[in-house]
Structure 1
Amino acid sequence: MFWQYNNSPPAAPRSVTKWRWAAALILGTVLWLAAVITSEIIPQVFLGLELQGATYALVGVIRAILGFAAVMIALRLIQLRIRDVGLVSAHWRSDALIGAAIALVFTLVQFVIIIPNTGGAARSDIVANAAQIGDSAWGVFGLIVLAWTGAFSEELFFRGHFFTTLRNLLGRSGIALAVAVMATVALFAAGHGYQGWVGVVDTGFYGGLTLTLLYVWRGRLTACIVAHALWNTLATIAIYLWY
């Protein structure tokens, strides 16, 4: 396994220079963002679909395929494979259980305590997500498909690619590790700006900080993918039923 839990980055191939780490970081980020944009353009522009409800299932599938390709291309610059950044089947049961437990706890805390006491249906993130789902069960289906395909794509990029390449670019110090974590949190939170400041804060804490630390702890992507996707799934169902 390439990335390991310790205070030092893994031993990279000798031919990989800092410039290559930087190039891989930039290339992967640009290609992945292009994949995200393309996944929303294709259904709307080429298929004439409204970006709501069931359409998000198609968005998620396109995003997973293009995002996977984007990360693979960028990793070739630093002589790595997908499995080297944590997309492996090792310990998948224990990792999946850990991810599921984290998602369940966060869901209960959010929908039982935090959301009802911080605006409920009027919260900007609830409003944004309810609009994405729409009024039919097909909207729930579309968002659940997006929850799993999107989580796969986002975890592969944010944790597998962005965090790993930045961590190795910055070096071996504890400060470098902290900077890599916070940069990952900031980028992940910024990507959810459409949810408003409340959504950015919540997303930054859970999808940014919690899942990045989970990756640091486990060194694999399974727990992160399950925690990410299951939370999105449960949140989609809860918003549809209650809000």
Structure 2
Amino acid sequence: MVIQPTEVIFDPYHHSKKAQPSKYPVNSLIRAFKRAIAILIILIIMWVFAAFGEEFLFRGFSLKGLANLFGSSNKAWLLAALISSVYFGVSHSYQGLVGVISVLLWSFLISLIFCKNKKNLLLLVLIHGFSDTIGLSLIYFNKDHLISEWIIQMLLT
């Protein structure tokens, strides 16, 4: 199946909305180009603020600070990972309860990776950035339900 530029609209609240084919193919190409530029800008903003910003703030600053406050032992790092992950999950409450829980678990996993190598934030930024890029791409192509359905199926079976 080939997706035509007139078939995809980036509107996360109205997935069933379809663009009307234009009489002039150049207009369709211009609209597709504008949508591509818009998603590129969104991805750049996401990489800067979500991937880099959140990892720097939640892992590089708060997780490390809490671990140092608790004594820098392995247990201190584990407790700091749990606390910062709960805070990170709650900060995503706009995604609902499933979003909070999934972000909390994801954050705890990333925090454990950081606890193993306490100086490598770049790895976490890359993991976070690629994860969000996949998520935004799924939203763009109206396939975001695949991940949540897969997670629910894994939990219930």
SS of alignment partner, residue 44 of structure 2: helix
Between 1 and 2, higher relative CO (CA 8 Å, sep ≥ 6) is seen in 1
**Aligned match for 1:160, one of 60, 71, 87:** 60
Moved over 6 A (4+): none
Distance 2:72 2:52 in 1: 28
Indicate if the aligned counterparts of 1:143 and 1:233 stay in contact, CA closer than 8 A.
Answer: no
- Residue 139 of structure 2 corresponds to 239
**Aligned match for 2:76, one of 172, 176, 182:** 176
Distance apart, 1:139 and its partner CA:
4.6
Distance 2:76 2:117 in 1: 19
1:23-47 per-residue CA deviation (whole Å, 9 max, x = no partner) reads xxxxxxxxxxxxxxxxxxxxxxxxx
User: Per the alignment, do residues 139 and 187 of structure 1 end up closer, same or farther by CA in structure 2, a change over 3 Å counting?
Assistant: farther
Structure 1: 5+ residue runs without aligned partners?
A: 1-128
User: Per the alignment, do residues 172 and 217 of structure 1 end up closer, same or farther by CA in structure 2, a change over 3 Å counting?
Assistant: closer
* Count of residues paired in the alignment: 111
**1:205 matched to 2:87:** no
Q: What root-mean-square deviation, in Å, do the aligned CA atoms of Structure 1 and Structure 2 show?
A: 2.1
Task: Please show how residues 96-107 of structure 1 align to structure 2 within 5 Å.
Answer: none
**Aligned match for 1:130, one of 1, 12, 16:** 12
Distance 2:57 2:103 in 1: 16
Task: Tell me the TM-score normalized by structure 1.
Answer: 0.42
SS of alignment partner, residue 101 of structure 2: helix
Distance 1:144 1:171 in 2: 38
- Residue 149 of structure 2 corresponds to none
Distance 1:141 1:179 in 2: 37
Structure 2: 5+ residue runs without aligned partners?
A: 1-10, 18-34, 144-157
Identity rate of aligned residues, in percent? 27
Task: Please show how residues 48-197 of structure 1 align to structure 2 within 5 Å.
Answer: 130-131=12-13, 136-150=35-49, 151-197=51-97
Distance 2:84 2:53 in 1: 15
Letter in 1 for 2:91: G
User: Per the alignment, do residues 170 and 200 of structure 1 end up closer, same or farther by CA in structure 2, a change over 3 Å counting?
Assistant: same
1:137-156 per-residue CA deviation (whole Å, 9 max, x = no partner) reads 45522431232102111111
Distance 1:145 1:174 in 2: 35
Task: Tell me the TM-score normalized by structure 2.
Answer: 0.63
Indicate if the aligned counterparts of 1:147 and 1:230 stay in contact, CA closer than 8 A.
Answer: no
Indicate if the aligned counterparts of 1:160 and 1:221 stay in contact, CA closer than 8 A.
Answer: yes
Instruction: Look at both structures and tell me which one has the larger radius of gyration over its CA atoms.
Output: 2
